[in-house]
Copies of this chain bind each other. A is one copy, B any other.
């Protein structure tokens, strides 16, 4: 199996992009990534696109081919393009397929992109509910805020997490997002902002929830032994792991533990031959504040039940023991669902290159990503390192 490196990354601003279409966003992120990698279209062998629900958001399926076409790879070049989908983990899985294509030797230079245009429809919450078990959850009214609220209730009850500790996840992610020029919300908030915001699904309030967003991101991968042809700062993919679980939350043995995160995390660390303490920062899937706490526990960075205290102590903020979601996370950077997994990789690249500006983690050598579909029926996790 060949080793793989990331040689370029591009991103659009995340937010309510009323003037920018699905295909425009893809073109912007894709061209930025190609330029960043010093690669031209003729060199691209394949493309993978993560998008959750373009069919319902914009009436368009077949978005792999659409995106390849609109970045100039479709017509004369006949570049093969594949959309992959696993709800909000679609981007992470697109990246994983790109890694597999290079690792297998099937392709050399591959684009992995993620995109979602969510703000053009009125029923985004129902579209997103397609990530849960439609027959046994969504039809019964359990949309995602409700499902994650159940996780939060279970967690608070078991481990004594306080409402203030939970709010601190959002406060910290806004602190990071305020330092990311591509973030949807670039303003700092306080615990009071969270605690006084509208109740969405008890105990979760508006500021516990990631927003509905438009955005796209793209990265370029190639065999590690060719990476220096294109860039002085290639980033090595040290591990690519994926795990599944029951699609319905009610079928899980423990609401507060994502079995797929545990499995993917263990697999990733085994592949990378690294201990947890080697990781300098992690981008996790904070679709709701509670999800971030579960993630850093289930990945093994802190003991179960202690992530709230760890967060309250400031250990997950830049400068702490384990900076979490330096991009601002889904909460502050925004969550165009298909794009999120690629944005996590983009952020890892910025950090490991030392190009993350005001949100730079000093001396970052190893970073990790964790991208979740639904309430954890799909988890994909990658570990990256400087070369």
Contact = CB atoms under 8 A, between A and B. Distances in A.
Interface in A360-383: 373-374, 377-378, 380
Interface string A232-246: 000000001011111
Interface in A98-120: 100-101, 103-106
Interface stretch (A74-82, A196-204, A326-334): A74-82
A53 interface: yes
Interface stretch (A126-134, A151-159, A173-181, A343-351): A126-134
B74 A1 contact: no
A291 interface: no
Among A80, A127, A251, chain B packs the most CB atoms within 10 A around the CB of A80
Nearest to A126: B59
Interface of A: 1, 21, 23, 46-47, 52-53, 55-56, 58-66, 68-69, 73-75, 77-87, 93, 96-97, 100-101, 103-106, 127, 130-135, 138, 240, 242-248, 251-252, 259-260, 263-264, 373-374, 377-378, 380
17 contacts: A61-B131, A62-B86, A62-B373, A64-B244, A65-B374, A74-B247, A75-B246, A75-B259, A78-B244, A78-B245, A80-B244, A82-B97, A83-B86, A84-B85, A85-B85, A104-B104, A106-B240
Q: Which 3 A-B pairs have the closest CB atoms?
A: A104-B104, A80-B242, A65-B377
Contacts of A86: 62, 64-65, 81-83
Nearest to A248: B69
Nearest to A251: B75
For the complex formed by this chain, how many copies does it contain in all? 2
A184 B34 CA distance: 46
Contacts of A79: 243-244
A21 to B, nearest CB: 8
Give the most central of A47, A60, A97, A259: most B CB within 10 Å.
A60
Contacts of A66: 133, 247, 377
A69 B131 contact: no
Given A1-B104, A74-B245, A373-B65, A84 B81 contact: no
Contacts of A243: 78-80
Contacts of A374: 62, 65
B55 A244 contact: no
A375 to B, nearest CB: 10
